[in-house]
Amino acid sequence: MLSRFFTDESRSKIVNTLFYLALTIELVLMIVEKSEIHIGFESYVFRLTFFLTLVAVALIKRDKKEWIAVAAITVFTAVCYKLSGKNDLLRIAVFIMAARDIDLKKAMKYSFYLCLCGFSAIALLSVFGILGDVVLVADYGRGIANESRLVLGFGHPNTLIGCIFVLVLMWLWIYGEKAKICYHLVVIAISFLFAIYTRSRTAMTVLAMVLFLGLLLRLFPKLRDVKAIYILTGLVTPFVCIFIAVLAAGMSQHIYVGGGFNTPDNIWRIEEVLNYRISSIYYEALDRGAVLCNWKLFAGHSADGYFDMGWVRLFYWYGIIPTALIAVAILLVIYICYKKRDPWTLLIILSVSVYTIIEATFVSRYIGRAFYLMIAGVYFGYLFKGKTNE
C-alpha cells in the first residue's frame, strides 16, 4: 500500500527537497557568520542539517555495492567524530552522499545567487552605517601601525576577499566556459579592485592564477582534452600541498620545539611575508599539536586551535589518516574530471587547494563555505552509475 504512494518519483522529490532545505540553511548560516552578527546556536543548526541530509541519504536508491561504500564512509567518519570530538567529517560525508542525484548546474546557480545576495546585503548594511565597518584601520602584523583595509561589514579584509574568491570560482564553474570574453574581463577587473583595496597578498596571487587560467580555458577550449593538465593538477594537489604543509609544520617544530626541518637563514624574512603563519602553527594551538612531531594518526579532543595554513590545520584537526583519505578523494575527483574532460572543476580543485596552503577558509565546520562538496557528491555518484565518460 505504501509503495503505491512512495514511488521513485516521489522519493526523488523528497530527497531533493531535503537536500535543498539543508543547503539553504547551511548557506544562510555561513552568510550570517561572515557578517558582524554573532550567533551561539550553530551546533543545533548543524544537527538539523545533518538530520535532513541523513534522511536524504537513507531514501536514495542504491545497489548493494554503493550501500557498502555508504556504510563504510559513515562508520569511519563517525569513528573520527568519536576520537576527535569534531563531527565535521561525518556531516560533510553525509552531505556529499545526499547530493548524488541533484541537478548540479541548478544547485550551483542557486548557491551562487544566494551567496551573491547575502554578501551584497552585508556590504550594503555597512555602507549605510547599519552594521559593520566599511574600512578597518588596524595593525595587521605587517609593520604598518595604522593600515587601512576594505572590509565592507565582513569583519576582516581577508574574510571579504575570501567571499569574492568563492563568488569568482562559482561564476567560472557556471558561466566560464560560455561567457563572452568581455564578461571575463569585467570579473577580472572587479576581482583585482577588491584585492587591491583589501590589500590581501594571498588572495591577489591566487586570484590572478585562477582568472588567468579561466581565461585560458575560455580562449582555448581544446585544453580540456590535454591529459597533462589533469596530471599536473594531481601533482600539485594533493602532493605539493601536503609537502608544503609537512615542511611548514616541521619548520615550526625546529624553531620552537627542536628537531624537525632545519630552517633557512632568512626564515624571518619568509615569516614576515607569510605574516608569521609558521609561528602561529605553534602558538595558536595551545596543545602544540600542530607542529610536525605532535601530529597523530587520528586527532584527539585537544586539537581545537585555530590558525591559517589550512593543509596543516587538516592534519591537526582530523589526523594523518583522515587527511590522507581526503587526499585520495581529491585524486578520485580529478580522475573523474579527466574522464569527463571537465577542466572547470579541475580549476576549482587547484585554486582551493593552493589557497588553502596559506589560508584556512575552507577548513571549517561551516559546510556552506565548501560549495564544491556538491560537485564531489554528484561526481562520486557517477562511479556507481557508470557515467564517468559522459
Q: For the chain, give the mean pLDDT.
A: 93
SS3 of residue 147 by DSSP: strand
User: Percent of the chain scored above 90 by pLDDT?
Assistant: 82
User: Percent of the chain scored above 70 by pLDDT?
Assistant: 96
Res 36: pLDDT: 86
Residues 129-144, mean pLDDT to the nearest whole number:
82
Backbone CA torsion sign across 146, 151, 153, 155 = negative
d(CA 170, CA 245): 26
> Residue 103 in contact with residue 13, Cβ under 8 Å?
no
pLDDT for 308 beyond 70? yes
Residues 272-278, mean pLDDT to the nearest whole number:
89
Q: How sure is the predictor about 389, in pLDDT bands with cuts at 50, 70 and 90?
A: low
> Residue 319 in contact with residue 84, Cβ under 8 Å?
yes
162 closest CA partner among 132, 198, 208, 114: 198
d(CA 91, CA 324): 18
pLDDT for 275 beyond 80? yes
In the chain, the amino acid numbered 206 is V
Q: What is the pLDDT of residues 246-255, one digit of tens each?
A: 999 999 999 9
Res 1: pLDDT: 42
Place of cell 625546529: 254
Res 240: pLDDT: 97
Residues 353-376, mean pLDDT to the nearest whole number:
95
Burial class (CB in 10 A: 0-12, 13-18, 19+), 71: exposed
pLDDT for 388 beyond 60? no
pTM comes to 0.94
> Residue 313 in contact with residue 363, Cβ under 8 Å?
yes
276 closest CA partner among 312, 254, 252: 252
Angle at 332 between CA 331 and CA 337, to 5 degrees: 95
Res 200: pLDDT: 85
pLDDT for 2 beyond 50? no
Res 39: pLDDT: 82
Q: How far is CA 23 from the centre of its chain?
A: 15
Res 222: pLDDT: 96
Res 269: pLDDT: 87
Buried b (16+ CB within 10 A) or exposed e, 118-154: bbeebbebbeeeeebeeebeeeeeeeeeeeebbbbbb
Q: What is the pLDDT of residues 59-102, one digit of tens each?
A: 999 999 999 999 999 999 999 999 999 999 999 999 999 999 99
**Cα separation of the two ends of the chain:** 38
Give bridge partners of residue 147 from the DSSP assignment: 138
d(CA 228, CA 224): 10
Indicate the Cα dihedral angle 378, 380, 384, 388, nearest 10°. Answer: 80
d(CA 219, CA 4): 52
Q: How far is CA 21 from the centre of its chain?
A: 20
25 closest CA partner among 49, 1, 58, 6: 49
Res 142: pLDDT: 65
d(CA 357, CA 106): 30
Q: How sure is the predictor about 143, in pLDDT bands with cuts at 50, 70 and 90?
A: low
Compute φ and ψ for 361, nearest 5 degrees.
-55, -40
Question: In this structure, what C-alpha cell is assigned to residue 282?
Answer: 605553534
Q: How sure is the predictor about 37, in pLDDT bands with cuts at 50, 70 and 90?
A: confident
Question: In this structure, what C-alpha cell is assigned to residue 116?
Answer: 551573491
Name the DSSP class of 263.
P
Q: How sure is the predictor about 377, in pLDDT bands with cuts at 50, 70 and 90?
A: very high
